[in-house]
Structure 1
Amino acid sequence: MHAAPATSSTEPAAPWVAAVVQAAPCYLDLEASVDKAIDLIAHAARSGARLVAFPELWLPGYPWWVWLAPAAWAADHGFDRRYAAQAMQYGTPAADRLAAAARAHRIMVVMGLAERDGDALYIGQWLIDDSGRTVGRRRKLKPGPLERRVFAEGSGAGDLQVYPTAVGRVGALCCAEHRNPLFKYALHQQNEEVHVAAWPSFSVRAFAAGLSADTYLALSRSYAAEGGCYVLAPCAPVDAATRDLVCDTDEKAAQLGLGGGHAQVFAPNGDPLCTPLAPDAEGLLLATIDPARIAGAKAAHDIAGHSARLDVVGLAWAHGTKERP
């Protein structure tokens, strides 16, 4: 499943621009969402970005019904079948179109998607370089309790990989994976420089305590400060078309609010770099990625290097130790 890391990469000598998406997909419509993704990729490239990051499960959208009703309701309404039919499969024309867009616009793409592999679905992130080549594919290691009604678990250590690319060492996690210190440390240990923290909308009012936009923004921010890396945090607001499709009662509509977009970019010291969009607005956030700031942050505090005490506590890999580059 997993592509091998790139074999040649150097840090860019100069700062460069990253783009973070805050936009809703064309819900449960893979082809239309790919069209919209290509437009956003082109927009990011025209804006001077060398990398564009998309939210969790942007293709073909987050399965909001898992928060709103029992599994039997979703099955009776055909959501599970429709979702599986609209999930992404690698090696298909839809996937080829995304890779071609990255190549045509000379920009790296980190896409959040529902991946279909046989009869199983996974919460995936696909890293495509600016030549259209697959840098890496990962799966969310542990979907949330309700998400497990739809998605299988990732397969192992290959889902905690940092990839050398032309813009630096890039890694990614999805949503609540950022609450797992060991998952985060696994990427910090590989000298991650740019991290994509992919989130869905923060509009579900059924969230338990602590599952708020403030909490998850804090997790993204602390990730940047702990890892001495830039964190790109895309987010997908809920639009009216999505809510109308998923919610067949006023009670469900009251649980799934419109908006919920809270995209941001955090510097290696944890500072937010962008003026947020309105929670229901769509667009791109642009931020300058300065390799010198990464080096400075890691010189001040290197969580897996000179600031560690590996003689006291460290991380053991179940499938082999990842060597620090």
Structure 2
Amino acid sequence: MATLKNYKPEKRPMAGKKFVRVACVQAPQVVFNKWKQIEVACKYIKEAGEKGVELVAFSETYIPVFPAYYTGGYESNVEEWRLWNIGLQDNSIVVPSDETDAIGKACKEAGVYCVMGVNELDDADGVRTFYNTQIMFGKDGRILRRHRKLTPTYSERCYWGSGDGSDLGVVETDIGRIGSLICGEHHAILIRAAEMLMGEDFHIANYPGCHKAQSGEKFLVANRDENAYGCECHLGAREYALEAGCFCLCSCGILGEKDFEPEYKSLIGSDHLNIDWAIGGSAIVGPGGEYVVKPVFDKEGLVIADCYADDIKVSKMLFDAAGHYSHPEIARLVLNTKHYTNLNIIENSSPKKGISYKDLKNLSEEFEVDLDKLERIATRIEKHNQGLAIDD
């Protein structure tokens, strides 16, 4: 029987695996002590590996904390504002670093893929700008992808810079294709379309915690009812899973007063601090937009599900956004993946030293060119490179 030379079994849903066990890690943050928090994260990564989990997802900016819990501005108490922001500066993550190495080591020992949410501190010299970042670690502990949130939402702009299209993408792995976006990016129509069109089996959607917008005393109010229209994180995760035909890990944060380090306890009770938003709500959604695991509130731990490849096949028979529903002859998407920098140094391209007499002699003999003529040409080239006047 003839075989298809270009047949690629790894292109099947979830790389041909029958099912993959995944988990959202709903763990408290440690405000502000990144090394304690990394210890907690590594503990959960180890536990996940022991339970047969191959992919784990942490909440948005899990390390060291979601900064916009503190909604400070020009009217803030100066000392309170300084305490929060310096704590954030001192406990954020550079990529790569000793901190990422520690997380990578835990992933390697547990044999899991991990998408970790961090406040990333720009590694450019003299720069103190943060990014809301997802770091994807491989089973071997290597960093496979870094994604910076493209646009901070509302008061988040007090803290984070903007990402770009250079780090949008999907990683091909032995458990399938894994992609991710952060919080409000799931409502950015063209951004989520670009990610979907790269083809995902698993999508990580991480959020700071569950809340919903409504009228009342505060603009955002915590919501624990998974059956309500409720928090936009669940709306976004379910719609994304349905449109992409993939499994979506909606990973949300949880935080309480006990999770503040002693020197930061004074912030509790501030009019600007809203940790009541972080009540969890992590859930796992199937490719039909249905809950595989319903939102879990007010509880620390692993939210685990077995994801079956056949569910993707059935879902895409009905609706395949990148396939029979895409219609590129009608509408197409252009993605700019260039990364821009604000300082581009053009180095002097002139040679560090002139051509030697021996080289000129060899060229003269090889190509039968007069040696004196070659010497004159070489001299003119050298003067030109040095910006000197050239004799006629």
TM-score, normalised by the number of residues in structure 1: 0.87
SS in 1 for 2:131: strand
Match of 2:293 in 1: 274
Report which stretch shifted further, 194-203 or 98-107.
Answer: 194-203
Partner of 2:389: none
Q: Which amino acid aligns with 1:102?
A: C
In structure 1, the partner of 2:191 is 183
Deviations 1:47-97 (A, max 9, x none): 110011000000001014543x32562753221122011001123221111
The reply to whether residue 43 of structure 1 matches residue 61 of structure 2 is no
1:141 positional shift: 0.5
Map 1:89-100 → 2, pairs under 5 A: 89-100=94-105
The answer to whether the 8 A contact 2:34-2:92 is kept is yes
User: Which residue matches 1:311?
Assistant: 329
CA distance in 2 between counterparts of 1:292 and 1:233 reads 21
Which stretch has the larger CA shift, 53-62 or 84-93? Answer: 84-93
Q: Among 275, 286, 297, which residue is 2:315 paired with? A: 297
Deviation at 1:114, TM superposition (A): 0.5
- Of 119, 136, 140, 1:127 maps to 136
Match for residue 174 of structure 2? 166
Decide which of 205, 215, 227 is 1:197's aligned counterpart: 205
Which residue does 2:284 correspond to in 1? 265
Matched, 1:34 2:38: yes
Q: Which residue of 2 aligns with 1:323?
A: none
Distance in 2 of aligned mates of 1:283 and 1:18: 13
The Cα of 1:275 is off from its aligned counterpart by 4.3
**Structure 1 residues 26 and 182 mapped into 2: Cα distance closer, same or farther (>3 Å)?**
same
Task: Tell me the distance in 1 between the aligned counterparts of 2:250 and 2:291.
Answer: 11
Cα separation, 2, equivalents of 1:178 and 1:52? 19
Provide Cα deviations, 1:104-161, integer angstroms capped at 9, x if missing partner: 111111100011114111000001110111111110011112111111000x222321
C-alpha distance in 2 between matches for 1:20 and 1:74 = 36
Could you tell which deviates more after superposition, 142-151 or 256-265? 256-265
Q: Secondary structure at the match of 1:310?
A: coil
Select which of 223, 231, 251 maps to 2:240.
223
Indicate which of 139, 142, 155 corresponds to 2:148.
139
AA of the residue aligned to 1:262: G
Alignment match, 1:150: 159
Do 2:284 and 2:291's aligned partners in 1 also have CA atoms closer than 8 Å?
yes
Q: Does the residue aligned with 2:146 lie in a helix, a strand or coil? A: strand
Contact 2:119 2:132 in 1 (8 A): yes
Residue in structure 2 matched with residue 235 of structure 1 by the alignment: 252
Separation in 2 of the partners of 1:74 and 1:19?
40
How far did 1:284 drift? 0.7
The 3-state SS of whatever aligns with 1:146 is helix
- Cα pair 2:208 2:278 within 8 Å, conserved: no
CA contact (8 A) 1:64 1:246 kept: no
Distance 1:249 1:16, change over 3 A: closer
The counterpart of 2:114, out of the listed 93, 109, 112, is 109
Runs of at least 4 residues off by over 4 Å: 208-213, 250-253
Contact 2:284 2:294 in 1 (8 A): no
Q: Deviation at 1:238?
A: 2.1
Higher relative contact order (Cα pairs below 8 Å, separated by 6+ residues)? 1
1:283 and 2:287 matched: no
How far apart are the structure 2 equivalents of 1:100 and 1:20? 19
Tell me the SS of whatever aligns to 1:273: strand
Q: Is the 8 A contact 1:53 1:196 kept in 2?
A: yes
CA–CA distance in 1 between the matches of 2:206 and 2:335?
A: 24
Q: Is the 8 A contact 1:140 1:153 kept in 2?
A: yes
SS of equivalent to 1:33 = helix
**Distance change (3 Å), C-alpha of 1:209 and 1:20:** closer
Equivalent AA in structure 1 for residue 244 of structure 2? G
Could you tell me how far 1:220 is from its partner in structure 2?
A: 0.6
Residues 259 and 281 in structure 1, CA contact (< 8 A), matched pair in contact too: no
Unmatched segments (≥5 aa) in structure 2: 1-8, 224-228, 339-392
Q: Distance in 2 between matches of 1:104 and 1:313?
A: 45
SS at 2:323's partner residue? coil
Query: 1:208 deviation in Å?
Result: 5.2
Normalising to structure 2: TM-score of the pair? 0.73
Q: Which moved more, 1:237-246 or 1:163-172?
A: 237-246
Contact 1:27 1:241 in 2 (8 A): no
Check conservation: 1:65, 1:246, Cα contact below 8 A: no
Distance 1:42 1:250 in 2: 36
